[in-house]
């Protein structure tokens, strides 16, 4: 197998603001894994605050020598184990290998990944579209742009949380997923806010408190009328034991957990611990989003809006129907080139 990669700047339609920063593009590295006549596609998305960059991905990918692996399917676990142990961290760069490898195996096997995973397309949850923190007039524009979505995900954690919700509620009654991105600091005030949000048809609350405040998260989960989901507090499978009693559920992102193989293991372990599951994403092209969608029917909620928020997706945009991502009968992750 041979690996190649290139950097790519993914431009956002709107500057993206969450509780503590703002940006206009997301640096990516796009990968291709070739074996015989087949090519698998992968992607690393690296929002700067997470610590990876095209430079760190380049350094990590340069360490790899995949030339000795001659059977992608039979050696999948071996390959991914080799990649993971090569250096700590580098979760997004590792995901770029994992996604390309799954795509490659699907193409060799002439089967969609979702079929190989045993996913039931009939169980695909609605997809949500994220509304970042912004001025009321921009928020209204974003809500209009999200008209194909039946659920909105709202970023809170600023001084204007109620204004933002009231602005959205002036034009739509759609259910809301709330993501505070650690923006609330006090558990009692967070609980008050959650009660108010429930009255406003919020469905779940993601990372309301700083990730270090595990005892407060446990208290909030115990008292909250809505599910409390760990995002920043949960990265990889090894984090599950530490946080599982403090949250109702977890947000799985391929870029955090190194890809589809580990995501599958997390889903299994989370279900065994009675945790709810949200499948989330970073700013990503259709490549990483299509990959995550292959496992989405195993989850309770889906927030895979990456390709719908960007203006230069280099692949064909992920298809949605009736507010849900469509799992097509295409080999691998079902990525279509333009």
- 3-state DSSP call for residue 241? helix
Specify the stretch interacting with Mg ion by CB under 5 A; choose among 5-13, 138-146, 179-187, 212-220: 179-187
| Sequence-ordered list of residues with C-beta below 8 angstroms from that of 261, at least 6 positions apart, any chain | 76, 77, 80, 98, 102
* By the rule CB under 5 A, 179 interacts with Mg ion: yes
CB of residue 105 vs Mg ion: minimum separation in angstroms? Answer: 30
Checking DSSP bridges between strand 276-279 and strand 301-302, what pairing results, if any?
Answer: parallel
Specify the stretch interacting with Mg ion by CB under 5 A; choose among 125-133, 200-208, 307-315, 326-334: 200-208
Specify the stretch interacting with Mg ion by CB under 5 A; choose among 155-163, 199-207, 211-219, 295-303: 199-207
* By the rule CB under 5 A, 98 interacts with Mg ion: no
Positive or negative, the Cα torsion across 129, 142, 200, 17? positive
Which of 231/305 has CB closer to Mg ion? Answer: 231
CB of residue 179 vs Mg ion: minimum separation in angstroms? Answer: 4
Distance CA 2, CA 31 (A): 10
Which of 52/231 has CB closer to Mg ion? Answer: 231
Using CB under 5 A, pick the residue from 43, 231, 303, 305 that binds Mg ion: 231
Which of 52/206 has CB closer to Mg ion? Answer: 206
Nearest partner of 319 among 295, 297, 298, 293, judged by Cα: 293
Specify the stretch interacting with Mg ion by CB under 5 A; choose among 68-76, 144-152, 194-202, 204-212: 204-212
Specify the stretch interacting with Mg ion by CB under 5 A; choose among 6-14, 173-181, 183-191, 256-264: 173-181
Distance CA 40, CA 206 (A): 33
CB of residue 266 vs Mg ion: minimum separation in angstroms? Answer: 16
CB of residue 253 vs Mg ion: minimum separation in angstroms? Answer: 8
Q: Which DSSP string do the residues of 315-333 spell out, in sequence order?
A: BPPPPEETTEE---S-SBT
Q: Hey, which bits of the chain come out as E strands?
A: 2-18, 21-35, 38-45, 128-131, 151-155, 176-179, 202-206, 228-230, 249-252, 276-279, 301-302, 320-321, 324-325
CB-facing half-sphere around the CA of 322: CA atoms within 13 A = 4
Position with the least CB separation from Mg ion: 231
Contact present, 29 and 95 (Cβ < 8 Å): no
**C-beta neighbour count of 141 within 10 angstroms:** 14
Contact present, 124 and 327 (Cβ < 8 Å): yes
Which of 97/165 has CB closer to Mg ion? Answer: 165
CB of residue 49 vs Mg ion: minimum separation in angstroms? Answer: 12
CB of residue 262 vs Mg ion: minimum separation in angstroms? Answer: 18
CB of residue 252 vs Mg ion: minimum separation in angstroms? Answer: 11
CB of residue 17 vs Mg ion: minimum separation in angstroms? Answer: 13
Q: Which of residues 275-304 bind Mg ion (CB under 5 A)?
A: none
Which of 23/328 has CB closer to Mg ion? Answer: 23
**C-beta neighbour count of 140 within 10 angstroms:** 17
Which of 44/156 has CB closer to Mg ion? Answer: 156
* By the rule CB under 5 A, 305 interacts with Mg ion: no
Residues in touch with Mg ion (CB under 5 A): 179, 206, 231
């Amino acid at each position: 197998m041979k690996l190649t990669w290139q950097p790519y700047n993914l431009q956002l339609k709107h500057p993206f603001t969450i509780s503590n920063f703002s940006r206009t593009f997301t640096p990516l590295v796009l990968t291709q894994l070739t074996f015989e006549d087949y090519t698998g596609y992968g992607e690393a998305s690296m929002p700067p605050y997470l610590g990876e960059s095209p430079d760190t991905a380049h350094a990590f990918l340069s360490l790899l020598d995949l030339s000795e692996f001659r059977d992608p399917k039979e050696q999948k676990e071996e390959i991914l184990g080799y990649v993971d142990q090569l250096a700590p961290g580098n979760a997004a760069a590792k995901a770029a290998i994992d996604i390309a490898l799954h795509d490659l195996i699907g193409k060799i096997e002439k089967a969609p990944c979702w079929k190989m995973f045993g996913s039931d397309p009939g169980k695909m949850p609605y997809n949500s579209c994220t509304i970042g923190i912004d001025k009321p007039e921009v928020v209204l524009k974003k809500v209009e742009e999200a008209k194909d979505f039946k659920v909105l995900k709202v970023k809170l954690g600023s001084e204007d949380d109620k204004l933002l919700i009231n602005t959205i509620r002036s034009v739509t009654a759609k259910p809301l997923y709330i993501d505070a991105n650690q923006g609330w600091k006090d558990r009692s005030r967070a609980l008050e806010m959650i009660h108010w949000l429930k009255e406003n048809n919020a469905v779940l609350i993601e990372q309301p408190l700083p990730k270090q405040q595990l005892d407060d998260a446990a208290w909030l989960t115990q008292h909250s009328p809505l599910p409390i989901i760990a995002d920043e507090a949960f990265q990889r499978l090894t984090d599950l034991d530490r946080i599982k009693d403090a949250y109702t559920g977890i947000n799985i992102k391929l870029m955090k957990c190194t890809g589809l193989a580990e995501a599958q293991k997390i889903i299994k372990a989370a279900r065994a611990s009675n945790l709810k599951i949200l499948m989330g994403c970073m700013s990503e092209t259709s490549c990483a989003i299509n990959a995550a969608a292959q496992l989405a029917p195993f989850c309770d909620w889906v927030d895979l809006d990456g390709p719908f928020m960007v203006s230069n997706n280099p692949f064909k945009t992920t298809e949605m129907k009736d507010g849900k991502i469509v799992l097509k009968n295409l080999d691998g992750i079902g990525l279509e080139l333009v």
